[in-house]
Amino acid sequence: MTSPPCPESVAADRSVSMADVDPNKTAPNYAMLQQAATAHGLDIYGGFHPTATQRRDMVEIPTSQTAPNPALQQPAGSGTGTDACTGAHSGAYPGMDTSGGTLILLGTGASYWAQFTASAEYLDTAPNPVDRWSSRVIGDLAYRLGATPYYPFTGPPYAPFVAWALASGRSFTSPSQMLVHDHYGMMISYRGALYFAYDIDLPTPPLAQAPCLSCADQPCLTTCPAEALENGGPYKLAACHDHLDTTAGTSCLSYGCRARCACPLSTGANRTPAQSAHHMRYFHIK
C-alpha cells in the first residue's frame, strides 16, 4: 500500500561512534547502539529478535552498501556487497548467544536535519539525497559495529519495514492504516536497520497497546483536507496529489501532511517546516 509522505553536515564525528570498540572484546549493547545512532543523527525506533522464518527471508533482501568513507565522497551502492559491510569482524563476539540475532530499526533523530543538510548528499543536488545519506551513514555504522544493514529503498525484494516496525512493539497500525510510533507519532521516517548475529537485550516497549485506542478525537481521520485518509483505509493517493496541485495544498507542501502532524504523538518528532517541505517535494514530484 502506498503511504502518504513520510516527514522525515558533514557526518557526525565518528570518534564518538563505536569506531573504537574492540570487536574481539566488547559486544555493543543497546545503550552503546543508541549512542552511536544519536551521534549520526539517527534514533533507534525499536528492535526485536527475528524468528527463523524472518531470518531466512532476510537472506533474499539486497544489502549492497559501501565501506566507511571518511572522505564522504564514495557514492552509495559502489561497495562490494554485504561483505563490505561486515568486514569489521564476524558479527559474533566471544561468549555471545548467537541463536536468533537482533534487528535494530533506525530512523531520523533529533539532529538528523542539521547533519543531513550539511552533508555531501544534500549539497551535491544529485537525485535521492536522503536515501544516499542513509545508505552511507547506516552502512558505515554496520561496518564499524559488525552488523548487516537493510534499507527500505533497496530491492526488489524490498525489506518488510512495516512488518518489522510492528514486530518491534514500538509502532502500531493507526485507524487510517498508517504507522504510528510511540514517540514520533505519525511523523516517522525509517531509514534502515542493522542485523546483529547475536542476541542483544532490548528495553521493554513503553506502550502495551496502540495509543490510538485511547485517542478520543483520532485527528488522523478528520484533518486531511483532501479526505484521503479514512477509518480502515485505503489511502486515497490520487486525491492527495490532486489536492497538492491546488492553492489550498500549499500548506501541506510547506509544513507536511496535516493528518500526520495532527497525531498527538507527532510532537515528539519536533520536525522543522524545512524538513517537512523537503520530504513533501520528493513525495509530490510532478
33-42, 54-63, 199-208, range with the lowest pLDDT: 54-63
pLDDT of 113 higher than 70: yes
In a domain, 48, yes or no: yes
Q: Which tens digit of pLDDT belongs to each residue from 215-248?
A: 999 999 999 999 999 999 899 999 999 999 999 9
In a domain, 236, yes or no: no
Looking at residue 18, its pLDDT comes to 40
pLDDT of 249 higher than 90: yes
In a domain, 221, yes or no: no
DSSP per residue, 207-269 = -SS-GGGG-SS-GGGT--TT----TT----HHHHHHHHTSGGGHHHHHH--HHHHHSGGGGGG
Amino acid, single-letter form, for residue 155: G
In a domain, 91, yes or no: yes
In a domain, 224, yes or no: no
Expressed in percent and rounded to 5, the helix, strand and coil fractions of the chain are 35, 10, 55
In a domain, 190, yes or no: yes
Q: Which domain holds residue 106?
A: 14-208
Rounded CA-CA distance 67/141 in Å is 9
Residue corresponding to grid cell 496541485: 245
Rounded CA-CA distance 89/79 in Å is 17
Percent of the chain whose pLDDT exceeds 70: 78
CA torsion angle for 156, 161, 167, 170 (degrees, to 10)?
A: 180
In a domain, 176, yes or no: yes
Number of domains in the chain: 1
In a domain, 25, yes or no: yes
